[in-house]
Structure 1
Amino acid sequence: MARTYQMLKHSRIDGQNFYGTIAVISAIVFAVVYSAVFIFSAFTLNKNLDIHDKYPLEITSNSHEMRKNISHMEVALGRLTSDTSAKNIRLVKQELAKGKNEVEKNLTYLASNFLGPPENVTDIKTALKELYSRQDKVLSMAAGNASLNDYIYGEMAKYYVDVDRKILKIVDFTKIKRREIAEKSAFFVYFSIVVSVSLLLLIVGLALLLQRRAARNFRERQFHDNILRIIAENVENVFILFNSRSGMVEYVSHNAKRILGIDYRDLRQTPQQLSDLCVSEDANPVSEMLGVHSLKEPVTHEVRLKNPISGKVCWMLASLYPVREKADDFGDRYILVISDLTEIRKTQEVLKDALVNAQNANNAKSTFLSRMSHEIRTPMNAIIGMTAIATTALNDRSKIENCLSKIAFSSRHLMMLINDVLDMSKIESGKLTLTYEPFELSDLISNIGSIIYPQAAFKKQEFEINVNVSHECLTGDVLRTNQILINILSNAVKFTPEKGHIRLRIEEMKKRFDSRVWLRFTISDDGCGMSAEFIEKIFTPFEQETRTTRLVEGTGLGMPITGNLVTLMDGAINVQSEVDKGSIFTVDIGFGTSGEKHSRQRLDIEKLKILVVDDDMDTCEHTALILDRMGMSAEWVMSGNDAIAKVVDAHSGRDDYDVVFIDWKMPEMDGIETTRQIRKKLGPDTLIIIISAYDWSDIEKEAREAGADAFISKPMLSSSIYQTLVSVSYKTHSPIHERNIDKVLADKRILVAEDNDLNQEIMTELLKQAGAKVDIAKDGIEVVNKFANSFPETYDLILMDIQMPYCDGYEATKAIRCLDRHDAKSIPVIAMTANVFASDIAASKAAGMNGHLGKPVDMDLLYRTIAGQLEKMEYES
């Protein structure tokens, strides 16, 4: 070696070449050693990491998967403790077979890949074999209807525990194995670092002998650093490196297929495919970029490329970067970076749409204010104008009455407008809440009838309600349901001509996988109908049909409120209509169920013999079905003559009917005449109840003279039938609306809590006109003190304002209810307030109030509500 060294030293090779040669040889030797160490360490680390990453994860995953499958088998077997039917046994067998199949898959993987003692896997196989045997035994016992509870949760449990323990043993071994592999890997890491640092120091020592080569290497490093910088700036994009001089593509990133739909190998061989993807009506910028020969600064273009796999056209950003050794070089190589702009474009479109929506919302607000200004000013103008006219005609009674009538109409219209706007505003702001309280369907129907029947009668229309339900005691928001139906029915009355027909049908629907009671409300009419164009925007605020036949006073908010309420109640609404042929609205709403409200201990209605008389077969059959469900024996006929014959035959056989329900309106012989004939032949023993569509006040006197005992409204439900029978049995008073309200209110002492002087004057005057005596309290504290300082039963009823100084109506009512006197708990308290939302009504009820009236007060409703509460007090006493 020394001789060789001397020969090289004294050769013609100069000193620089000599040391350079030595440096090169040394560098090669060090590089070979470094490479060998690095390759050895890399392979060792790769092997250890492969085992470290895959082996523990897969073994542990399969072990836990096996535990989970065995747990599912245990749960499936446990179902036999409560059900040993053949069907359930078959289902359990299927579950066990499925679980066994999955466990065997896991076990097969463990047997092939577990690096620990083979006996660990063998132990699991043995334990599983014993477990399967025991499971088969349990299935045999179940087939024999044996008691399995103790055996499954006692004897069988230890076999599941044994299998689980042996599986966990493999998991524990896997953890130990993973730790050992990690320790070995750490050693090779440290070893590689030490060797690498040592060799690096030696190579740095030789760097001084490689000046020229170092300079060249420096330029090469700049070249690669430039490439890496560009790539780093465009992560998750497609990179294409090509040589413009040779026309060859040197590199294509592997994500080309995912982004562009072309495999990177194909794109590298034929780069022209990229320009073929370009969707452009003019120039092809991609093709121009691929053919560039001289470029100093980067260029970018937004292009549309069509993915050949998905066929989807996406927006892309194509950026071309020159790779140069010097700043003033043109360079031979270029990097083409393609970025997907689709999501950015979508975001831009969303922002653009949001801007448009915001502008539309702003325009809608302006339109709303303009429309509301017009809507409010119209009735206000009428009120102010009619008031001015009335003041100039104080001596003309007829003219004053005409003005007051128009003022009242405009006031009601203004109130309706305000209520609709408040409802709409609360719905759109998300502040409208629903209440879920028990109610009876008969009460809902009665309330609807009391509003719609008079409207229909005024226009000489026929209004009919048909009901076919099994559940009458429901839970839900009855106020909102009533509002929905009243809105639709009121429109039906408005847009149906005189002598038209309006029908409300209520039927119960069956829905799978839903425990609620779903009712379908179908409102049909034969009115003017609607055009197809208007139906599409019927639920849009302020939209109204412009045809002459539909120019009826309204706000254009009724149907939007109705649609929103139905949606809020998780229901559905459908509209079918044809011009000049009528409309059909279908509303589906789900309700909860509640227990039957009426106890039948008070009246033994079972085994009563009932005869139903009505000329409509559907009514007869439906009523008979209800009576049968209530435990009564029901028969029916369809004419007065048949009814008389039936009653006489039953009397002759000494098997009289206990009750006879007779429809008022029947052909040939109406209900009153039929009643009169039955009384002539049988006398007063049999109860006779007249069936009327709604208001029987016009025929009450004649019917009672003919021998009728009571009246009942259609549709007849079990609750209304029961109440009617109770009222007849106990000889209670007739319904409120049949009574003279003045007589009910006469000499009744009413305490009114009201802080507004004008409202005090109005309430005092109107209640005195009805015969009542009135005391006024100006705030909540005063009303409590007046009641507390009075003798018991001094006051018959309290009208309570809500918003009052010092103490509001809620707190005042609670204070009264807490007083230590017997009438504090029973005196009726009625809220009289401008707070009219459902949440306000619920708050009144929670405070202990008996009713809730909205301001401005409808006096007819006020009188009826007061009379109803007073009569209820008389009945309960």
Structure 2
Amino acid sequence: MLGLSPETDGTIVISSGDQVVFSNNPALENTKVEDLRILKRIMERGVGKKMVHARNRAHLLSNDFGVMDKSKEYYIYAFMDEKSVFTTTISNVLYVLFAYLLLMFILNMLMWRADKAYQKKQIEIQRSYADMLREKNRQLEEALIQAKKAAAAKSSFLSRMSHDMRTPLNGIMGLLKIDEEHFENQELVRENHKKMQVSAKHLLSLINDVLQMSKLEDGNTYLTHECIDLPRFSRKLAATVRERAMENGIEWTYEREKSESFYPYIYGSPVHLRQIFLNIYGNCIKYNKPGGKITTSVSVLGAENGICTYQWKISDTGVGMSREFLEHIFEPFEQEKNDARSVYQGTGLGMTIVKGLLEQMGGRISIDSEKGVGSTFVVTIPFEIAPAPKHSEQAERRVDAANVLHGLHVMVAEDNELNAEIAETMFTDEGAKVTVVHNGKQAVDLFAESPQGTFDVILMDLMMPVMDGLAATRAIREMKRPDAAAIPIIAMTAKAFREDVETCLDAGMNVHLAKPLDMERAKQVICELLMNTEDL
């Protein structure tokens, strides 16, 4: 047992039977096992190589840990004081405890941070939810305000329209009643008819303005891209405006300054361009003074990259407008005075439509006015410069439309008996022979059964029973006879939107005429169509 120290390696005892024969502790040699309490306790408790805890008699306050093994002839005991066994126990426990506390601290810190992050996230979620609720509430409040405004606008609109539509209708119905009572007074009847025409035109203008405003608000106004002969356009516009001005005792002058000759051909939407100026001139005439004056000057501001910019300055000597009203002049139904609708028979939509159309054209309008002095409207519009059109022999021809209907055979497809009667009478008065059918199928059957060349033109309503006008037009165009493709078919309908016009043309119709029937316009259109047919 040399080299094994009892203090560091424990006590080793080897016995033969009950006699200790060897030990690394000399004091235990030649003693008996039964005299050594620790060995006896190890023998009693030890099983195999299992370590046991035994009390040492020599040291009552201390215990030993021991183990026993057995060979054929010897018993081998090994034991050590528990203090030696657990020399590092306290430090290990302290280390473990420190590590445990450190781990718990770290875990608590992580849990604290996670809890703080969770609380922060919850606060952010709550704040975000509160912000969302506030935004939703704000949107709801705005929607409610807008809904109330829309309801008020709708109510105001219906009230205004009720007044504006009933006023001319009341006039027409009243004049009809007067004519019935004084039918023998032909002069009074003729005068009343003129007044009824004025009221009817005002009612039609009101309907057209409302429809135009609806299309502008919905973004459904389609501007065409047509070549415009600006000098010719100006001459025709001037003729119309000059006539209306003279009827009201207004002097009208137009100063060109040779500007229109710089770029006489432009691309634009002539119908809407005409509407812009007629609305402005209409106001200049309507709100002018007796013996007043309207002056127009036009100039070219410049041209660049194929775009020229024209500017019109239209001045009148009318009643003028206040500064306060000018701030709201482009709002729908706005008029300077509350009694303007009764005095001037206006809808308050004209300038709103003007501004909407100009914005779609990329133009602008400014107004300067002084009450009692007059107003000046400055209209600026950019146009794409168009090349000069080729003048063909046909373009140089001038056709007199006054007697164009004389001797023509006209088919009128119209399901409304009153409209059919009006059309038949008006065309008959112009010298035409008129055949009336009441639905599209009758029109198709009559054309198919008639010899070629029987009819010169067909006026086709769109909404008819059995077969509508579009289907009837397609059926006629598909017939295997020469005149089926050549005969002019004119849409005569109350559906007057741009998409309605395109639908008619796509179906094979030549021209679209909106109701009510304008006889002068109808004669001009038929004249041009027949001229084109003769050239084929």
TM interval, shorter chain, is 0.7 to 0.9
Distance 1:518 1:842, change over 3 A: farther
| TM-score for both structures, normalised by structure 1 | 0.47
Deviation of 1:848 (Å) = 4.2
SS in 2 for 1:431: coil
Once the two structures are superposed, the pairs formed by residues 551-700 of structure 1 within 5 Å of their partners are: 551-599=343-391
Q: Which amino acid aligns with 2:361?
A: M
Cα distance in 2, alignment partners of residues 586 and 224 from structure 1: 74
- The secondary structure found in structure 2 opposite 1:510 is strand
Please state how far the C-alpha of 1:455 moved relative to its aligned partner: 0.2
Alignment of 1:501-516 (within 5 A): 501-510=293-302, 512=304, 515-516=306-307
Change (3 A) 1:874 1:218: closer
Equivalences for 1:346-495 in 2 at 5 Å? 349=138, 352-465=141-254, 466=256, 468-469=259-260, 470-495=262-287
- 2:496 corresponds to which letter in structure 1? V
| Long gaps (5+) in structure 2 | 11-61, 63-79
Distance verdict in 2 for CA 1:349–1:520, change over 3 Å = same
CA offset at residue 372 of structure 1? Answer: 2.0
How many Å separate the matches in 2 of 1:236 and 1:474?
65
**Relative to 1, partners in 2 of residues 1:769 and 1:821: Cα closer, same or farther, differing over 3 Å?**
same
Inter-CA distance 874–808: structure 2 relative to 1 (3 Å threshold): closer
Q: Structure 1, residues 422-453: CA drift from partner, whole Å, max 9, x if none? A: 21122212233333334433453344234312
Counterpart CA distance in 1 for 2:372 and 2:422 is 46
Q: Residue type of the partner of 2:333?
A: F
Aligned equivalents of 2:433, 2:478: Cα separation in 1 = 25
Displacement of 1:344: 8.1
- Give the counterpart letter for 1:832 in structure 2: M
Q: 1:761 matched to which residue of 2?
A: 421
- How many residue pairs get aligned? The number is 460
- Could you say what secondary structure the match of 2:209 adopts? helix
Partner residue of 2:41?
Answer: none
Q: Verify: 1:828 aligned to 2:488, yes or no.
A: yes
* Residue in structure 2 matched with residue 21 of structure 1 by the alignment: 91
Corresponding residue SS for 1:774: strand
Q: Tell me the alpha carbon deviations over residues 343-379 of structure 1, each in whole angstroms, 9 at most, x when there is no partner.
A: 9867765554344233322322222222222222222
- 1:814 shift after superposition: 4.1
Q: Does the residue aligned with 2:329 lie in a helix, a strand or coil? A: coil
> Are 1:520 and 2:315 counterparts?
no
| Cα offset, 1:542, TM superposition | 0.7
CA contact (8 A) 1:435 1:839 kept: no
Which residue of structure 1 lines up, in the alignment, with residue 15 of structure 2?
A: none
- Contact kept in structure 2, 1:438 and 1:473, CA below 8 Å: yes
The 8 Å contact of residues 831 and 849 in structure 1, kept in 2 or not, is answered as: yes
Supply the distance in 1 between the matched residues of 2:161 and 2:390 (Cα, whole angstroms): 47
User: Per residue, is there more helix in 1 or in 2?
Assistant: 1
User: Structure 1: how far apart are the matches of 2:296 and 2:500?
Assistant: 29
Correspondences of 1:278-289 after superposition (within 5 Å): none
Look up the match of 1:750. Answer: 410
Aligned mate of 1:837, from 497, 503, 510: 497
Name 2:69's counterpart in structure 1.
none
Aligned to 2:112: 226
1:789 maps onto 2:459 in alignment: no
Tell me: higher relative CO, structure 1 or 2? Use CA pairs within 8 A at least 6 residues apart. Answer: 2
* 2:327 corresponding residue in structure 1: 536
Structure 2 CA distance, aligned partners of 1:13 and 1:362?
98
More strand per residue: 1 or 2? 2
CA–CA distance in 1 between the matches of 2:9 and 2:155? 99
Other structure's SS at 1:452 match: helix
CA distance in 2, matches of 1:391, 1:381: 15
Contact kept in structure 1, 2:459 and 2:490, CA below 8 Å: yes
Secondary structure of the 1:543 match is coil
Task: Tell me the CA shift for residue 474 of structure 1.
Answer: 3.1
State the SS of the aligned residue for 1:234.
helix
Given the superposition, is the C-alpha separation of residues 224 and 824 from structure 1 closer, same or farther in structure 2, using an over 3 Å criterion?
closer
1:546 Cα deviation after fit: 0.9
Maintained 8 Å contact 1:574/1:587: yes
Structure 2 CA distance for partners of 1:519 and 1:790, relative to 1, 3 Å: farther
| CA positional deviation for 1:454 | 1.4
Letter of the structure 1 residue corresponding to residue 214 of structure 2: S
Give 3-state SS (helix, strand or coil) of 1:586's partner: strand
| Distance in 2 of aligned mates of 1:827 and 1:474 | 32
How far apart, in 2, do the equivalents of 1:473 and 1:754 lie? Answer: 40
Please provide the CA RMSD for this pair.
4.0
Instruction: Say whether the 8 Å CA contact 1:434–1:477 is kept in structure 2.
Output: yes
In structure 1, give the amino acid aligned to 2:147. A
Counterpart Cα distance in 2 of 1:446 and 1:814: 38
Q: Offset of 1:529 from its aligned partner?
A: 2.1
Larger Rg: 2
Sort the Cα spacing of 1:390 and 1:223 in 2 relative to 1 into closer, same or farther, 3 A: same
**One-letter amino acid matched to 2:314:** I
In 2, the alpha carbon distance for the partners of 1:454 and 1:463 equals: 9
| Equivalent AA in structure 2 for residue 21 of structure 1 | S
**How far is 1:515 from its partner?**
4.1
CA change 1:548–1:803 in 2 (3 A) is closer
What's the secondary structure of 1:371's corresponding residue?
helix
Change (3 A) 1:472 1:876: farther
Per the TM alignment, residue 757 of structure 1 is displaced from its structure 2 partner at its CA by 1.3
| Identity fraction in percent | 33
- Residues 493 and 482 (structure 1 numbering): CA distance in 2 closer, same or farther, change over 3 Å? same
Name the residue aligned to 2:23: none
Scaled by the length of structure 2, what TM-score is found? 0.73
Q: By how many angstroms is 1:543 displaced?
A: 0.5
Partners of 2:9 and 2:299 in 1: how far apart? 112
Q: Compared with structure 1, are the counterparts of its residues 433 and 788 closer, same or farther at alpha carbon in structure 2 (3 Å cutoff)?
A: same
Cα distance in 1, alignment partners of residues 224 and 113 from structure 2: 68
**1:849–1:3: structure 2 CA closer, same or farther, 3 Å change rule?**
farther
